[in-house]
Structure 1
Amino acid sequence: MIGQLTGLLIEQNEADRCIIDVNGVGYVVFTSNRTLARLPRPPEVARVLIETIVREDAILLYGFAESYERDWFRLLTTVQGVGVRMALSILSTLSPDEISTAIMTADKATLTRAPGVGARLAVRILTELSGKVASLSDSIATVVVPEGKDKGSRSQTAQTLSDALLALEGLGFRRVESQPVVAKVIKRLTDEGKGSELDLVIRESLRELAR
């Protein structure tokens, strides 16, 4: 199984794939538009995380610029009716944070923005993934607090994130707009060594949202 590729990006299809040359072997890698946009222009060295899908007639490689998007790809494909191509379509249309927010708020309309996702499939996604909201918060916290930090820090960050979102929701802010702001604020405060006390996070988030 291939978990990562680092090589010369020799071709980039604007639709859904690229070719990466690793020691003379060109690997066709399917990606979302989001990952394609983050790759360098050919011919330059690129690194992508790989999810290998083995079928009877082919071995397919799906590439991601970050582990957060790959985790969402894996999670989406656990839903009945969501195949690998559909998962890429969703990730090309919605960011991981938007998907997370849609699931936490049961926002069916947001999910149906992705091509091929009708009302029935959107409901199925919400139903099958709604019970995983806690793990989704932990995933966001992992982006804010890297894997190298202790698990307790990520757990505390996830709790602060959740509490701040609830507080802002009570003030009239929708999660879809406040979640990326709160995550950004927590990361900035953590990087600056100021800590991430709830009241400070809320104050800084309100300042950002006011802009």
Structure 2
Amino acid sequence: MFARLKGLLDEVGEDTVIVDVGGVGYLVYCSSRTLGALPGIGEAVRLEIETHVREDHIHLYGFLDKSERDWFRLLTTVQGVGARVGLAILSVLAPDALTQAVAAQDKAAVARANGVGPKLAQRIVSELKDKVGGMALGPVASAKPASGQAAPADAGATEDAVSALVNLGYGRSDAFTAVAKAARSGEGSDVSSLIRLALRELGR
């Protein structure tokens, strides 16, 4: 199977490109994010490739980097998320933003993609939460506190702090981002400290 293509950018369509590799043109489906970052026609291009083989076709899906490709693979494990929907989601959310949205259970952010309704968005964030939660918060839970610093916050405390901020009227993604920064600061690990630090972050 194809894993990567390196060649010359020959043509750009609405959601596809043609990459010329040694005189052979490969049709590759891409997200809007990838299409927007491509070089000019005739210039060198490199795409990470995911190959889908069916009885009636072989489709190539191309990505700027491995993180986008890995997210595409993860998204398409969810029932109801095919290749087209996966690309649509990656067109509106970069990998880091998608990681944060899923970890924060922000279905509204995922539902911005074409073809993703509220029910499918909820299924995506619910099914993938356990796979990306630690990625969004970073090494907070496993880090050792420096001298004079509080112990790292555990997942339960951060989730409670996020919920409290949401109840105060903040958006879930904003609340999650602020709590994650508060947890990384090492200034506090209990729920009340995280809320206080997150509110300070949100007020900046």
Asked if TM exceeds 0.5, the reply is yes
Could you tell me which residue of structure 2 aligns to residue 192 of structure 1? none
Could you tell me which residue of structure 2 aligns to residue 36 of structure 1? 35
Structure 1, unaligned runs of 5 or more: 142-155, 186-196
Could you tell me which residue of structure 2 aligns to residue 67 of structure 1? 66
Counterparts in 2 of 1:157 and 1:6: CA distance versus 1, 3 Å: farther
Structure 1 CA distance for aligned equivalents of residues 71 and 63 of structure 2: 10
Contact 2:53-2:59 within 8 A present in 1 as well? yes
- Number of residues of Structure 1 aligned to a counterpart in Structure 2: 177
Could you tell me which residue of structure 2 aligns to residue 85 of structure 1? 84
Counterparts in 2 of 1:134 and 1:109: CA distance versus 1, 3 Å: closer
Q: Does residue 10 in structure 1 map to residue 10 in structure 2?
A: yes
Structure 2 CA distance for aligned equivalents of residues 178 and 43 of structure 1: 44
Counterparts in 2 of 1:181 and 1:57: CA distance versus 1, 3 Å: farther
Counterparts in 2 of 1:157 and 1:69: CA distance versus 1, 3 Å: farther
Q: Counting helix residues as a fraction of each chain, which structure ranks higher?
A: 1
Counterparts in 2 of 1:31 and 1:134: CA distance versus 1, 3 Å: same
Tell me which structure has the larger Cα radius of gyration.
2
The CA deviation at 1:84 is 0.5
Counterparts in 2 of 1:40 and 1:179: CA distance versus 1, 3 Å: farther
Contact 1:98-1:176 within 8 A present in 2 as well? no
The CA deviation at 1:85 is 0.6
Contact 1:97-1:179 within 8 A present in 2 as well? no
Counterparts in 2 of 1:59 and 1:178: CA distance versus 1, 3 Å: same
Residues 55-107 of structure 1: per-residue CA shift (max 9 Å, x gap): 11111100000111111100000000000011001111122222222211221
Alignment of 1:63-142 (within 5 A): 63-134=62-133, 136-137=135-136
Residues 7-27 of structure 1: per-residue CA shift (max 9 Å, x gap): 0001111x2110000000000
RMSD: 3.5
Moved >3 Å (runs of 4+): 134-137, 156-160, 172-183, 197-200
Structure 2 CA distance for aligned equivalents of residues 44 and 178 of structure 1: 42
Structure 2, unaligned runs of 5 or more: 144-151, 188-196
Residues 37-71 of structure 1: per-residue CA shift (max 9 Å, x gap): 11101110000000011011111100000111111
Could you tell me which residue of structure 1 aligns to residue 147 of structure 2? none
Could you tell me which residue of structure 2 aligns to residue 148 of structure 1? none
Residues 103-122 of structure 1: per-residue CA shift (max 9 Å, x gap): 11221211111111111111
The CA deviation at 1:135 is 5.6
Of all paired residues, the percent bearing the same amino acid is 46
